[in-house]
Structures are given as structure tokens and as C-alpha cells.
């Protein structure tokens, strides 16, 4: 895990430092920061760091797309920033919809892996029944099918835990709230079985019809079955987070460990059973009815719409508004078809990238494309989207068209999923019916094939570089010269004391040991990034070469002392213009090294980066040559 330590440190530094981080979670491919001030984040530096696919601002979050090794990077970021989030994340600047998406995603993301595991176990068990390994009445089937089903049956307990983490409630309190919802003695069956007839019935003749078998303090108790439910527990834990705030202030610290959970549960859970649970169950029933009505009106159009727009929703994190619908339908019926068009979508990205691979000319692009294709097969599409298809907008649209046609087929065939969880090829076992029938497996494979063939064919036969889409590397020809920004002695970058530079994590380039306290523009271009501390500056040339000049080691700690900026971020400059001044003697007197890395951050766009092989460089010397 050590190789990600420097990457993590740089991420923390470039999201504005530890002090700017209010919260951090991760999903399968992204670090999701809640920042106090997103303007302090250095988008361009992060985007150009080796190990980061891209950055996004969506759903009230600052998202750093890493890839499928994000759990390891997440742990290193926590360590690098010594991050603890004991205080609730501020949401005062978030819009209500962003708050909703943030809350739902924060509750679901942490347990997606075990959700996938449970679904795959049930799918494998059903497949073995089909192969005749054992029958449905055997002890083997009963054991393994119910092991896989446990994650769905006890969803309120699992979400109680994740919601408690999200809303800053004691985790065991969250689990207890979920367990109370699961208590068999408090279920609809138990209460109805203990009564000869309901006391009354509300909403008779509607989908919300609910018999009342008991009252609590004279208040009608609308009993429901909450096993496998997903939404009520989220809002019950959210309620608990608000109830515990005044309790913490009132209860003496000496006895807080016992009495804060006691009073929180004592107040929250009755309100959960009497008010929150029924209200949000009714609300989800309305949403479910809406989705099922749309699906019933035209399954083909529904599938096409979901298939076309799904990747766009995922890009902005808005898919979390829909994901719970599939889980709720599954919890009610034991199957779901609301989300089945999604199963085919990711394969369109993979197929389009495969077609693009055969048309790429740059060997480095081809080398990067291969792991992106592999990731796409297992359902991780961010490397394909952000690295290849989205920058070439027409290809991204082609994949949406492929997803739409594959989704339309899934709607036409009433494709049904009998388990939940898994991504990419690991979703396929979900379509094995409980009796082992493979009809839905065949249909999902056909839907995948349609999405892949369409996306591949459109990309292979109809995509070519256009004026507005041409890569910077194809606009350039021959080579680009980076002149010396600082006079002094030079050394290979691998000798840098900062491991992030030495290992090439941030880019390729060279070290300068300054003889003069001036930084001059090494080419005609634009000041892309100017750090507030003025110790580092990022530039982009007129042809697209991106350069970072980082004056000194750990000089960020000087907080701008001894540095003077003569330009502003966004300013256009000519080669030789004075950018920065720094007091070399005073900085060294403070104990800081002036070892200065000068690196090409988008070096992957070039065939090779050649560094000056001399010992010293002057104002007009070529420091770096980028071959195109």
C-alpha cells in the first residue's frame, strides 16, 4: 500500500488541505470529498496527477475518480490527512436535492460489495441447481441460498450502520434501530395474528390501504413489514441524529456514554414506528407505482430511456435517486425489472473502447486502453469514460445509443433480475431464475450483445478525428521545447528527495537547483494554476503542454513568505516573462531545500520526454524536449 502514500498526500494537499475537508467517503471508483470551500481545490493539478482519472463536482461532493483501487487510496488519504470526522458535515450550502442524493449515496456505497457478494452466492446456487448438482429441497441449497439472501433480509440493520456513519450517530444505535424494525414481534404478521380483526382501516381501496391492529398512547399504529426495506431506516437514523443533538447538550458527560444512546433510541424508535416508517413507506410506494406505471405503458421506451441516460446520470452521481427503487421492488417481490436495462449499459463503453483501440496510433494510449477495457468488463467504466469516450464526445454518444437499444430489448423481453448486486459480467448470475431457468440469462446476454455490437460498429465505422475533437498531441508535430525557467544546476528527477516526484507519480521532468531567485516563462502560454503560497505555478503552452514548476521542498509551509508573484492565474505570458521572484538566501536560512522539480504533467500525451543531460542551464537553454 506504500506506493499510494505520496498520491494520497498530494490529493489532501490539492483539495485544500486537511482543514478544508469536512467529510470523505468512497464508492467503487471515486473518492467523494465534502469540502468547506471547493474553490480551494486545484482541479487541473489533480486531473493531471498519475493515478487520478479525473475530478468532478456533483451532488454537493468533490469527486476524485481513481479507479478500482480506490479503497487502498481511501485508506492512505485518511492516514495522510489524519482525518477524523467527529462533527457533522455542514450541508447549509447544499441544495435540498443535492442533500438527498448525498444522503442516499452515503448510505448505500459502503455495502455495495457485500450486496454483490450476496447476489452472486444466490446466483451461483441457482445455477448449480440447474446443472443438477443438488435440488431445491436439499440442505445444501437451503444453506447457501439463505446465506446469500441474508444481506437482503437484514438490509435495515446494514443500512442502520451505514446511515449512522453518514449522519454521525453511534453505529450501534443505528444497528439497533434497524434491528427493531426487523423484530418479528413488531411485524404486521405478528400484530395481525394477535388480533381477531383490525380496529380500523385507513386508505381503504387504495394502494396505501393499511389495517390498524394496535394503538400506542391512543395513536394508531400502522404496522408494516420492514424486512428488506431500504428507505425508512435511512430517515429514522436521520431523525435520531437530530434528536441526539439536544440530548448530548443536556446529559452530563460522565454518563453520556449510556444515557445518550438510551434517550436517543427511546424517543426515535416510537416515532419511527408511528410516523417516519409509515410515511416513507407510503412515499416509496408512490415512487414504485410511478416507475411500474412507466414500465407498463411501454417497456421498450422505458428501457431505451434508461439505457441512453444511465451513464450520464452516473457521471453526475444522480443515479442514486433511482437505485433504491430496484432494491425496494426486489424486497417486495423477490425480483425486479426497474433496473434491468442498466445491466447492458456498461458493456457498450467496453465495446466502443475496444473499437477505438484499433484506431489509436499512440502506443501509450493503446497501453492505457487495455486495462480500461478489462475494468469495463467487470463493470468499472470510469477509466473508459473519462480517459477515452467522453473526451471524444461522439463516441460517448455512440455508447448511449448502444445502451438505449440494448435497454429497449431488455424492456421488450421483460428482462427480470432474480438477485441483486454485482457489476459487469458478475451481474449475469442474477438473471438465473430460482428454478434454474436460463431464459433471462439468455435475454440479458442478447441485450449486452446488442449494446456492444452497436457501440463497436458506430465507433469503428463512423468515428474519426474532427476539428473540434482532435487531440492536442495530433495538433502538435515533431517536438516541443521547454526553455529553462530557472538558472542553475540540474539533476535527474529520480534523485528528488520528494518521493512523489522521484517516482514519477506527478509527471516526468528534471530538477533544478536555483542560482538566482527568478522563475521565467519557459514558453508562450497561459498561467493555469498559481498556488496561494506562490511556491508553485502551473502553465499550459499554446499547443497544450502542461508544466508544473515547484520551487523548493515543503516550501508550502512558508505560506508565501519570501515569494512574490508577478502574474495572475489565467494570464497569458510570453517566453522569458518574469513569473515569480523568491529570496533564495532567506528560504535556505529557514532550513528549506530549493530543489525545484520542473515536470510535464500530461507526459502521457507525448511519445517521449527528453531531459537536458548537462550539469547547468542558462536562460535560453532547452530544459525539456517533448516528442510528439
Q: What is the DSSP string of 374-409?
A: HHHHTT--HHHIIIIITTSHHHHHHHHHHHHHHHHH
Measured between alpha carbons, how far is residue 238 from residues 103, 164, 177, 484 in Å? 9, 8, 11, 57
Which residue is it, cell 506527478? 506
- H helical segments located in 491-553: 499-502
Cell numbers that stand for 234 in this block = 435511512
Cell of 133: 448438482
Active-site residue identified among 8, 24, 27, 238: 27
Q: How many CB atoms lie within 10 A of CB 206?
A: 10
C-alpha cell at 506: 506527478
Cβ neighbors of 554 (< 8 A, separation 6 or more) are 592, 593
Name 550's bridge partners: 536
Query: How far lies 492's CA from each of 7, 303, 496, 504, 545, in Å?
Result: 20, 56, 8, 11, 20
Cell of 264: 436517543
Distance (Å, rounded) from C-alpha 603 to C-alpha 507? 6
Helix, strand, coil percentages (3-state) for the chain, rounded to 5, are: 55, 15, 30
Which residue in the block uniquely carries the three cell numbers 499547443? 543
HSE-up (13 A, CA, CB side) for residue 474: 12
Residue with cell 452515503: 106
Q: For residues 407 and 310, give the distance between their C-alpha atoms in angstroms, rounded to a whole number.
A: 10
d(CA 506, CA 496): 12
Across 139-247, the runs of DSSP E, i.e. the strands, are 200-202, 210-212, 214-216, 219-221
Question: Which residue carries 467523494 as its cell?
Answer: 32
The 10 Å Cβ neighbour count of residue 270 is 15
| Three cell numbers, residue 596 | 525545484
Residue 400 falls in the annotated catalytic set: no
Q: How far apart are the first and last CA of the chain?
A: 34
List the grid coordinates of 419. 438477485
Residues labelled as active-site residues: 27
Amino acid at each position: 500500500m506504500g506506493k499510494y502514500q505520496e498520491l494520497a498526500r498530494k490529493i489532501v494537499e490539492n483539495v485544500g488541505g486537511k482543514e478544508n475537508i469536512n467529510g470523505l467517503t468512497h464508492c467503487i471508483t471515486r473518492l467523494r470529498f465534502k469540502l468547506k470551500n471547493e474553490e480551494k481545490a486545484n482541479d487541473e493539478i489533480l486531473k493531471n496527477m498519475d493515478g487520478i482519472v479525473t475530478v468532478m463536482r456533483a451532488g454537493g461532493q468533490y469527486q476524485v475518480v481513481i479507479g478500482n483501487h480506490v479503497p487502498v487510496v481511501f485508506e492512505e488519504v485518511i492516514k495522510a490527512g489524519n482525518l477524523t470526522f467527529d462533527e457533522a458535515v455542514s450541508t447549509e450550502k447544499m441544495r435540498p436535492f443535492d442533500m438527498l442524493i448525498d444522503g442516499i449515496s452515503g448510505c448505500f456505497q459502503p455495502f455495495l460489495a457485500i450486496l454483490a457478494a450476496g447476489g452472486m452466492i444466490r446466483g451461483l446456487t441457482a445455477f448449480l441447481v440447474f446443472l443438477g448438482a443438488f435440488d431445491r429441497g436439499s440442505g445444501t441449497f437451503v444453506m447457501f441460498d439463505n446465506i446469500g439472501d441474508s444481506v437482503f433480509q437484514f438490509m435495515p440493520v446494514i443500512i442502520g450502520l451505514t446511515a449512522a456513519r453518514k449522519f454521525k450517530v453511534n453505529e450501534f444505535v443505528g444497528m439497533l434501530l434497524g434491528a427493531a424494525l426487523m423484530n418479528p414481534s413488531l411485524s404486521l404478521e405478528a400484530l395481525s395474528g394477535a388480533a381477531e380483526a383490525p380496529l380500523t382501516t385507513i386508505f381503504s381501496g387504495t394502494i396505501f390501504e393499511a389495517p390498524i391492529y394496535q394503538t400506542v398512547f391512543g395513536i394508531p399504529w400502522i404496522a408494516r413489514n420492514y424486512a428488506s426495506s431500504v428507505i425508512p431506516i435511512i430517515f429514522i437514523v436521520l431523525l435520531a441524529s437530530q434528536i441526539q443533538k439536544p440530548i448530548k447538550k443536556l446529559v452530563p458527560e460522565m454518563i453520556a456514554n449510556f444515557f445518550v444512546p438510551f434517550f436517543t433510541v427511546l424517543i426515535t424508535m416510537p416515532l419511527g414506528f408511528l410516523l417516519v416508517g409509515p410515511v416513507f413507506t407510503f412515499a416509496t410506494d408512490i415512487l414504485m407505482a410511478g416507475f411500474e406505471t412507466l414500465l407498463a405503458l411501454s417497456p421498450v421506451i422505458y428501457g431505451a430511456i434508461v439505457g441512453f441516460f444511465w451513464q450520464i446520470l452516473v457521471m453526475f452521481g444522480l443515479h442514486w435517486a433511482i437505485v433504491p427503487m430496484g432494491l425496494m421492488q426486489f424486497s417486495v417481490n423477490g425480483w425486479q425489472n426497474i433496473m434491468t436495462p442498466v445491466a447492458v449499459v456498461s458493456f457498450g463503453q467496453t465495446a466502443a473502447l475496444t473499437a477505438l483501440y484499433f484506431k489509436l496510433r499512440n502506443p501509450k494510449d493503446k497501453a492505457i486502453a487495455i486495462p480500461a477495457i478489462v475494468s469495463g468488463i467487470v463493470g468499472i467504466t470510469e477509466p473508459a469514460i473519462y480517459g477515452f469516450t467522453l473526451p471524444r464526445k461522439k463516441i460517448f454518444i455512440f455508447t448511449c445509443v448502444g445502451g438505449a437499444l440494448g435497454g429497449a430489448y431488455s424492456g421488450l423481453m421483460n428482462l427480470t433480475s432474480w438477485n441483486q448486486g454485482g457489476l459487469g459480467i458478475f451481474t449475469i448470475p442474477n438473471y438465473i431464475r430460482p428454478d434454474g431457468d436460463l431464459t433471462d440469462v439468455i435475454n440479458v446476454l442478447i441485450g449486452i450483445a446488442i449494446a456492444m455490437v452497436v457501440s463497436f460498429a458506430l465507433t469503428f465505422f463512423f468515428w474519426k478525428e474532427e476539428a473540434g475533437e482532435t487531440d492536442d498531441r495530433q495538433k502538435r508535430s515533431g517536438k516541443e521545447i521547454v526553455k529553462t525557467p530557472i538558472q542553475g544546476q540540474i539533476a535527474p528527477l529520480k534523485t528528488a528527495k520528494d518521493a512523489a516526484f522521484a517516482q514519477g507519480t506527478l509527471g516526468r521532468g528534471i530538477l533544478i537547483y536555483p542560482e538566482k531567485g527568478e522563475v521565467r516563462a519557459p514558453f508562450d502560454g497561459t498561467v493555469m494554476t498559481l498556488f496561494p503560497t506562490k511556491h508553485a505555478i502551473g502553465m499550459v503552452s499554446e499547443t497544450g503542454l502542461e508544466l508544473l514548476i515547484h520551487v523548493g521542498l515543503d516550501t508550502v509551509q512558508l505560506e508565501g513568505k519570501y515569494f512574490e508573484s508577478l502574474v495572475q492565474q489565467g494570464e497569458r505570458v510570453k517566453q522569458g516573462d518574469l513569473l515569480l521572484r523568491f529570496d533564495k538566501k532567506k528560504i535556505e536560512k529557514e532550513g528549506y531545500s530549493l530543489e525545484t522539480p520542473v515536470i510535464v504533467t500530461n507526459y502521457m500525451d507525448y511519445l517521449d520526454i527528453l531531459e537536458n543531460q548537462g550539469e547547468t542551464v542558462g536562460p535560453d537553454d532547452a530544459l525539456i524536449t517533448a516528442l510528439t
